[in-house]
Amino acid sequence: MRNKKLKSDGFFVYVFFSFCLILFALVSLKLYEIQVIKAQEIENYFNNSIKLIPPLRGNIYIKDKDNNLIPIALSYYTYDVYFFPPKSKNREEELKKISQIIQIDLEKIKEKIKENPQVSLILKKNANEEEKEKLKKLNFDSIFFEEKVIRKYPLNNLLSTILGYAIYDEKEKITKGIYGLEKYYDEYLRGESGFLTKYGEYKPPIKGADLILNIDYYLQLKTQSILDEALKKYKAEGGLIVVVNAKNGKVLAIAESPNYDLNNYRSIKDYSLFISRISSVYEPGSVMKPFFYTGAFEENLVTPSSTYYDQGFVTLNNKTIYNFDKKGRGEVDLKTALEQSLNTGSVYISQILGKNRFIKYLNKFRFNQNPEIDFPLIHLNNLKTLFPPFGRDINFATASFGQGISISPISLLQAYQVFANKGTITNFLIVEKIIYPNNKIFVNKEKIISQNVISYKTISTINEILEGVVENQAKKAKIKGFGIGGKTGSAQILVDNEYSEDVITSFIGFFPLSDPKFLILVRLDKPEKGLLAFGTATPTFRKVVEFMINYYNIEPDKSLDLLNSQNF
């Protein structure tokens, strides 16, 4: 009896657990149906019952010195035209009238309808507004339209690496910025989609905000022309010219080559063309020297008249550093050493400063931080050779003349702003203002990042030497009647951990020196072998300045030079 009871109890337990498993499976199935299947049904229902209407992307404008606006990126609607046979009352007649407005292959369309009369088919892609309106006036229920937004760039290649481009997302029905300003300001430019439901509820799309750039149209055209001429003359592979208002950081021109036609970006195979040089870093060479001389003067360790003995080379950690011409000059004062861009002088300054103060002045000039500009930055400044496991004497020595460290062009310009703007660094702004569809205007404002970076006394001292660079070494930058300060740089290019014979030549300068208004960087990549900055970047800089003097009617600040020139 006991065995029978146990078997009976076991059977009931088995039935009970089986029932629980079945119940659990049913509940799980229902939950799956609710959570997954029903969710999909709801999504399908939503997608089928609402039509998204894409917004127009905001336009982008540049201007001239009189604030006249020139469009550089525009958006407009185009329409894909569809025909839905089941809604047609007289298929033959309707298609005939449609063909009188847009070009279609009637026979081919009839054949497609015959194959599948219940499916809509596209008659034309990218019909314009005029064609759409004419088709609407036919009042055919069989015609419907799919709006798309087209992005056009009226000036083609101009500013292409800075603007970037935007593409229309067919799924999300919105235009998205991919590179450059189009990407950086995408949330302002893209606008807000509208919709139309099958119940007649309508919400119009909201156009994106417009951008007005600080870029000056005629200065941009001229700097691009000057750059292209320089690349051809010096057989350089590429280059960059950036012009900035020295006082408030407004970016007035960014010329870059190679570039590309924004309207044909799909044809580009070399994707590196989409990345601007202002987003990247490079070993800048001797344009770095003034910052360390500044540190030594500010710390009262030396003066411009202090001397050192130049043998033409320095050996550290079993590696030898030479002057650019491999010549020694004997007893040399530091003013001459910087003017003539002697590497031995920069190494001497780095040793006088010591490693801690060397790093201190790199930080003071913000090379340890990202530059502040309204543009996407891809690569950050790289000073890793100055810290463990590196940080040997040779690393600091080469960094003193801008090799072994990588710096962005914008970081260099913001650091030189200290000399041009009485010790103050501001943010750099490519975009002047944002204009919303409701006419509300947001103005991008200057922001002071650092003040009193160095003393006025030291600024005056270093600027006098930088003027001497132009007067005595980079003479091709000199313009009668105008005080100009600047520094050359010719940096070897690192390839597979070895420095090649190719160089990047740079010149960074500012003028008029008595009260600097403009700050300019010129960079030429891989000019013909044997050419250095004073023969390439420097004369290119001069051409830009000459144009700006005439264009902006800039008064000379060294009138005595002009008088002496005339008397002579």
Tens-digit pLDDT profile for residues 426-445? 999 999 999 999 999 999 99
For residue 313, give the amino acid letter.
F
Residue 267 clears pLDDT 70, i.e. is over it: yes
Q: What is the mean pLDDT of residues 273-294?
A: 96
Q: What are phi and psi of 255, to 5 degrees?
A: -95, 140
Tens-digit pLDDT profile for residues 159-208? 999 999 999 988 888 999 999 999 999 999 999 999 888 787 889 999 99
> 3-state DSSP: the chain helix, strand, coil percent, rounded to 5?
40, 25, 35
Tens-digit pLDDT profile for residues 208-251? 999 999 999 999 999 999 999 999 999 999 999 999 999 999 99
CA distance 256 to 267: 19
pLDDT reported for residue 33: 38
From 321, 297, 479, select the one nearest 399 (Cα to Cα): 321
Enclosing H/E stretch for 313? strand 313-316
- The residue behind tokens 């700006």 is 548
Residue 493 clears pLDDT 50, i.e. is over it: yes
**Residue 258: other Cβ atoms inside 10 A:** 15
The overall average pLDDT reported for the chain is 90
- Helices 91-99 and 106-115: angle between axes, nearest 10 degrees: 140
Identify the band that residue 414 occupies on the pLDDT scale cut at 50, 70 and 90. Answer: very high
* Secondary structure class of 500 (helix, strand, coil): strand
- As a whole number of Å, the CA-based R_g of the chain is 33
**Residue 65: other Cβ atoms inside 10 A:** 13
Quick check: pTM over 0.85?
A: yes
Q: What are phi and psi of 210, to 5 degrees?
A: -90, 150
